[in-house]
Structure 1
């Protein structure tokens, strides 16, 4: 077992364990608001993880009572310049896109509140499992700010009318509603949250790592294509996947009625 930890006073904590990296937002007294330091740390980790060929899965979690309360409004209010805000939102958008660009699944472990850019963070992850006490909102409208960049991720998870309702009213939805609407995959009792995240990670780790990497990249790219283009692209990816050793082994194992032995990364 390979385990490593980062410094406990950092704004973002990292734990490595057997190909699974857990990144934990670590500003509990600020409800894990996304300061520039946090965004810098997230981007650094995502850039590093993108090059890690042994990586199997990433879990995005948070310390304290909340998952993430969005941008750090105190920090933002202290820098009232258009160029600052443009750079900040571009930086945050890059972080969100880096989650999708990673070659492995990213699972959000959500507890407490996930609001504004925190809700965007949940929506940007490939999978999300939440405590049944978690609550979600894109509440910038309550302080005179429409959550424009969070709306990009939110509207790609839930229906148009549901997304706009959340954006224009700032209202909270509970975890059961978030699961029903497709913002998260599952809502579980708080005491079962870690077990549910671990179970999902183990489900992913049990699959062919090569197939998962082929699949995640293809899945996100094809969503932005027209139908015929998407099918042509997906067909080519699937054909190349079929040429991998894992596909040969998996099909042989199925035909021979035995467990598959995946090629290690």
Structure 2
């Protein structure tokens, strides 16, 4: 598991947090906490005025490491994943400065939780977003998908486990720009630089103000959803569904 934080040349006040966990950036429990710590640390730095959240490899994020859950005969891994995801999503939402998500490839499950809590999203043309939770014996992150698409579309996507493209999200106004894959980081840094050109103190006040007027408390809403994930596990439903997922892998 690798989470790195860099300061790109020519991007004053911008910090880039990059996740790299092959093969598909499906994060173990420790990875969610590591990501949360990196985002919080980047946002706390006095000179930071914008954080870019990015990923290396084949896709942005494939959610929770299902194999880690399968290896645990009890519920410790599930509880850890629930808490770790909540910490990472909250770190993005509560980051003291705006967060721009740079999304390529697949953005699934926990990936939607991350970008749904970001302040802005720049995506590559190959990016797809979705919550395959019902196919994986889980629930959650509808809170964040509802920040990307209208209510009825969110419900349809959730029930079917279908994905939407970056172009579709652009049409809904939740993605700022869609660009060819090689141009993704350039486009994300362009937006981040424009944000970072503002006064740092005012940006932090603006972030706190915008969070304060949110109509939905995303942290409480997500934790409410997670309670049903745990109920599904206690009932044995989650394990039965999860055991049918990815057997060919």
What TM-score comes out, normalization by structure 1 length? 0.75
Counterpart for residue 203 of structure 2: 212
Q: 2:191 aligned to 180, 190, 200, which one?
A: 200
Q: Does the 8 Å CA contact 1:28/1:66 hold for their aligned counterparts?
A: no
Deviation at 1:172, TM superposition (A): 1.4
Q: Paired residue for 2:96?
A: 103
Tell me the residue number matched to 1:114: 107
Counterpart-to-counterpart distance in 1, 2:172 and 2:27: 25
1:138 Cα deviation from its structure 2 partner: 0.4
Residue in 1 aligned with 2:71? 78
C-alpha separation between the residues in 1 aligned to 2:143 and 2:71? 26
Larger of the two Rg values belongs to structure: 1
Partner of 1:167: 158
Q: Across the two proteins, how many residue pairs are aligned to each other?
A: 213
| Distance in 1 between residues matched to 2:67 and 2:193, nearest whole Å | 39
* Partner residue, 1:38: 31
CA contact (8 A) 2:2 2:20 kept: yes
> Which secondary structure state, in structure 2, belongs to the residue aligned with residue 28 of structure 1?
coil
Work out the CA distance in 1 between the residues paired with 2:40 and 2:95. Answer: 9
The CA deviation string for residues 155-195 of structure 1, in whole angstroms up to 9 with x for no partner, is 23322111111111001111101222344222112232122
Partner of residue 126, structure 2? 133
Deviations along 1:45-79, whole A, 9 cap, x unmatched? 23323432211111111111111111111011112
C-alpha deviation, 1:106, in angstroms: 0.6
Q: Residue 103 of structure 2 contacts residue 121 of structure 2 at CA under 8 Å; is this kept in 1?
A: yes
State the match for 1:191 in structure 2.
182
Q: Is residue 33–residue 69 contact of structure 1 (8 Å, CA) maintained in 2? A: yes
TM-score by length of 2: 0.79
CA distance in 2, matches of 1:64, 1:70: 14
- TM-aligned CA deviation for residue 83 of structure 1: 4.7
Deviation at 1:122, TM superposition (A): 1.4
Deviation digits for residues 122-153 of structure 1 (CA, Å, limit 9, x no counterpart) = 111111100011111101212333x32x1111
Backbone CA RMSD of aligned residues? 1.8
The partner residue of 1:25 within 6, 19, 33 is: 19
Cα offset, 1:114, TM superposition: 0.5
Indicate the residue corresponding to 1:59 in structure 2. 52
Unaligned runs of 5+ in 1: 1-9, 226-265
Distance 1:161 1:80 in 2: 37
Q: Which residue of 2 aligns with 1:151?
A: 142
Q: In 2, Cα distance between the equivalents of 1:207 and 1:105?
A: 11
Q: Which has the higher contact order (CA 8 A, sep 6+)?
A: 2
Displacement after TM superposition at 1:109 (Å): 0.6
Partner residue of 1:229? Answer: none
What secondary structure does 2:7 align onto? strand
